Amino acid sequence: MPNSARPRWPAAAELPDGHVATGLLLQMAHRAAHDRLAAELKPLGMDIRHFGILQFLARGGLTQRQLIDLVGVDKSTLVRIIDQLEEQGLAVRTRDPHDRRAFQVTVTERGRERLAAANAVAADLGDHLFGWLGAGDRRRLHELLQRIIQQAHERG
Amino acid sequence: MPNSARPRWPAAAELPDGHVATGLLLQMAHRAAHDRLAAELKPLGMDIRHFGILQFLARGGLTQRQLIDLVGVDKSTLVRIIDQLEEQGLAVRTRDPHDRRAFQVTVTERGRERLAAANAVAADLGDHLFGWLGAGDRRRLHELLQRIIQQAHERG
DNA sequence: TATTGTTATACTCTATAACTATA
DNA sequence: TATAGTTATAGAGTATAACAATA
């Protein structure tokens, strides 16, 4: 597993001045949360990249094309991801009756079980990471993050 | 450049429930800011990975060993990064007089100029992304992010 | 002619291991 | 014997392009 010893960047936290510090903290917080989730999902046999895909699939079967639009990966990349999910028996491809070029990708029963276990782990971790936030702080944090995302997509 | 068409994840933003949404927003905000910075640094001939390294070096020459401890990458990876910086004339290796096994890595004049240009771009982008935050919100955001980082490193 | 999906291939990034030169 | 750095090499992840089947 690559990157098990992770850059802790501002090693003891000598943050730069100004807004760069905000960006760096954003990166550090994301990475810390991401790595922690990946580590906790691993013993369940759940890859963190598969986790996101399965979330979408759990709401209803989708074609690979639809998944590509949701997730944004290249189609050839998605082929391999779905291959892996099929190998693990977590999802299956079935021909779309309306468009016989396309496959419907569906979560299997086994996939649902594993996803449920992963969701439980993710919920526990979420409680640990974010549960201390008061309702107001949580709402405010979401607002701020969404505004940042919006700003990043706007020219200026 | 790989990943130019980036996952926008919750494409129109159908966020999941609970704390998972917070983690996802964290990821989206980080990635949006990161990609935007990378895009704006590129025309200056500044790779975003080099940007961080140069920041550290600008405060004073460091050996590769010291950089490894700061940044957390593998030593063989760092060799290539320093090679690239040297090829571009942004940094140089000189023998450490006290320990002739080691190299001191120093930013060149050209490196300082390019770093200054990159810092100006980063500062402008920071203003755009985060400048709308009031002083209080900014402080609070930093506190929240630091607490999240801390929680992620604690067992629970 | 355009689109869904597959395959073959290549590129990037990074880590592991073996090596050298110093200490 | 241990450490700083280099090199060779392999692996993971992803993209590009050519292709098959269907629309």
pLDDT in tens, A40-56: 999 999 999 999 999 99
Token pair of B112, please? 């300082």
The amino acid occupying position B76 is S
Residue by residue, DSSP assigns chain B as -TT-S---SSSS----STHHHHHHHHHHHHHHHHHHHHHHHGGGT--HHHHHHHHHHHTS-EEHHHHHHHH---HHHHHHHHHHHHHTTSEEEEE-SS-TT-EEEEE-HHHHHHHHHHHHHHHHHHHHHHTTS-HHHHHHHHHHHHHHHHHHHS--
Which segments in chain B show pLDDT lower than 50? 1-8, 11-13
Per-residue confidence (pLDDT) for residue A66, from 0 to 100:
95
A-contacting residues of B 7-26, CB under 8 Å?
A: 7-9, 11, 16, 18-23, 25-26
Q: Is the pTM of this model over 0.85?
A: yes
In this prediction, residue A123 has a pLDDT band, given cuts at 50, 70 and 90, of very high
Asked if pLDDT for residue A132 goes beyond 80, the answer is yes
**Is residue A37 less than 8 Å (CB to CB) from chain B?**
yes
Residue extents of the structural domains in chain B: 27-155
Cβ–Cβ < 8 Å for B146, A44: no
pLDDT band for A9, please (50, 70, 90 cuts): low
Taking the C-alpha atoms of residue A26 and residue B138, their distance in angstroms, rounded to an integer, is: 12
Q: Which residues of B touch A145 (CB under 8 A)?
A: 25-26, 28-29
Q: Provide mean pLDDT across the span A130-156.
A: 95
Give pLDDT, residue A100. 97
Q: Could you report the per-residue pLDDT of B20-54, keeping only the tens digit for each?
A: 899 999 999 999 999 999 999 999 999 999 999 99
- A27-155: CATH architecture: Orthogonal Bundle (1.10)
> Mean per-residue pLDDT for A16-37?
91
Contact call for B153 and A32, based on CB within 8 A: yes
The pLDDT, as a whole number, for residue B18 is 85
% of chain A beyond a pLDDT of 70: 91
pLDDT in the model for residue B63:
97
- Mean pLDDT, chain A, as a whole number? 90
